[in-house]
Amino acid sequence: MTVLADATEKQNLEAKPSTDQRVPVLIVVAVMMTAVLEVLDTTIVNVALPYMKAAFGATTDQATWIPTSYIIAALVMMPLTGFLSRRFGRKRLILTAIIGFSVSSALCGISWSLGSMVFFRVSQGVFGAFLIPLAQSILFDSFPKEKRGQAMAMFGLGVVVAPVVGPTIGALMTEYYSWRMIFFINLPFAITALLLMTGELPSDEPKDIRIDWTGLILMALAAGTLQFVLDQGETLSWLSSHAIQVAIAVCALSSLFFIARGIGYRANIIDFSLFSDRNFAFGCLVIAGFSAAMFGSVAILPLFVQDLLGYPVIDAGLLFIPRGLMAGFMMVLAGRVLVHRFDARILVAIGLVMTASGNFMTGSLNLNASFWQLAWPGVVQAVGMGLVFVPMTTLAFDRISQDRQDEASGLYNVFRQLGSSVGIALIGVFVVRGVALDTTVLRSHITLYNPEVYTYLSPLGVSPESLKGAAILGVETTRQATMLSFARVFDMLGYLALAMIPLLLLTKKPIHAQTGSENS
């Protein structure tokens, strides 16, 4: 009996996080820096793309491979997080990922051609794919389940706030220094995180696991071709391109074989049984839809304010500061207070409504919108961001056992990344096609028999019969058509956020949530 009691006590001690508060705090700091290290790099590059294009003498189509190559590589590797963590050990994997990501970042900063930049960005994506899932699962292990809201609040500051403020940092670095600095800014975060992880993260023993090469190849083909279609579809005119046609066929076939083969196959590279947990399965779908609605609008806003409204790059970046501050505040409030007092499903539903409201507010603006008229919808969305991300993550992982957290984190973040990619891809399609349609409709009303045409041109001292008058009317109708198209897309993203709410009805109430503030 004594031996059994000692063994039970040992298991309990191993299952609980250390009571030494110094260790969780340092791990939280390291995890936040790791999250910032990866997520910041996915949005900060977009602002500097025009400068890179000029530096390398690349066309717009060629320059899109700078962000696309990173995303494709990360999406292919991210589902392997759980397998590689078991095969080589979590600590060894995350330290290798941090070092590899840092070296790749430095090489991107000194790249000498478009080809070298794309190659180093692929390398960044390969190593960066593991940072977010591993950081999330490490936080889960560092806190008891009833305090996971606090853990996710800290984690959310990096995962969700970083891409929001990324355009601001990228704009400042590019404007006052050089576009190359956006890659070197990773190094201080990486060094600090590496030192903290090395000293504080406990070592774990790797396991001798057979590699499922067939499943790995099928998964890589499915994920890689899907991301290629989403990123390059609009550029290559979708189904009119043979490359897109082939990619869709490969994606469909490889996905079909991968899923059919993997269901019930215990040695599969991904454990599909994770999706038997309703909270996790629907949590993945909700976070995908939320990411499309939220980060789709984040991606489109710089184009909206710079290309259409004529804002300088610095002012466009400053628009994200109020959003980032509110998002950070809401992450802490949701993690430390709200998830302990309210049902996570209710919080997520309110957050989705706030996310939708922010998109609807932006969609109601016009070409004369002021700075604060553009900034306030972002603040409203930031409230929704905090109410969705923290409660949804704690709800999705509520019933996931500790030994499956690495794999579950990898899959969860794949859905988050795919949601963002789908949202951005849809935006590109609807904006471009919407502008063409609305331009045609508006110009059909411009005739010499329409008195409003003369009323508009009269203060300018020109007539619609003149070349100058025709040019003015052409520019203005294009601007108005573009505004209508952007407004329609923001409304579409708002409805997408609302469409996620019914999925919450299919989830179960968290079993580890506590009422009251004793754990906050």
pLDDT digits (tens, 9 = 90+) for 509-520: 887 554 443 333
Stretch 397-416: mean pLDDT: 89
Nearest-angstrom CA–CA distance, 204 and 54 = 47
Stretch 449-454: mean pLDDT: 84
Return left, alpha or beta for 508; rule: phi > 0 is left, psi -120 to 50 is alpha, else beta.
beta
**Given this model, what pLDDT does residue 12 score?**
44
Which pLDDT band holds residue 336 (cuts at 50, 70, 90)? Answer: confident
Which pLDDT band holds residue 488 (cuts at 50, 70, 90)? Answer: very high
Question: pTM of this prediction?
Answer: 0.82
**Given this model, what pLDDT does residue 24 score?**
60
**Given this model, what pLDDT does residue 163 score?**
66
Mapping DSSP to helix (H, G, I), strand (E, B) and coil, where does residue 342 land? coil
Which pLDDT band holds residue 18 (cuts at 50, 70, 90)? Answer: very low
Burial profile 201-217: b = 16 or more Cβ within 10 angstroms, e = fewer = beeeebeeeeebebbbe
Q: What residue ranges define each of the domains in the chain, with the CATH number in brackets?
A: 18-211 (1.20.1250.20), 213-268 (no CATH), 270-444+452-520 (1.20.1250.20)
Residue 15: pLDDT over 70: no
pLDDT digits (tens, 9 = 90+) for 267-321: 888 888 899 999 999 999 999 999 999 888 887 887 788 778 888 877 877 888 8
pLDDT digits (tens, 9 = 90+) for 246-266: 999 999 999 999 999 988 787
What DSSP letter does each residue of 417-485 carry, written as one string?
HHHHHHHHHHHHHHHHHHHHHHHHHHHTT--TT-HHHHHHHGGGT--TTSHHHHHHHHHHHHHHHHHHH
Residues whose CB falls within 8 Å of the CB of residue 241, separated by 6 or more in sequence, listed in order: none
- Give the residue among 415, 433, 339, 416 at the shortest CA–CA distance from 151: 339
507/234: higher pLDDT: 507
Degrees (nearest 5) of the Cα angle 154, 391, 516?
Answer: 90
Which pLDDT band holds residue 332 (cuts at 50, 70, 90)? Answer: confident
Which pLDDT band holds residue 361 (cuts at 50, 70, 90)? Answer: very high
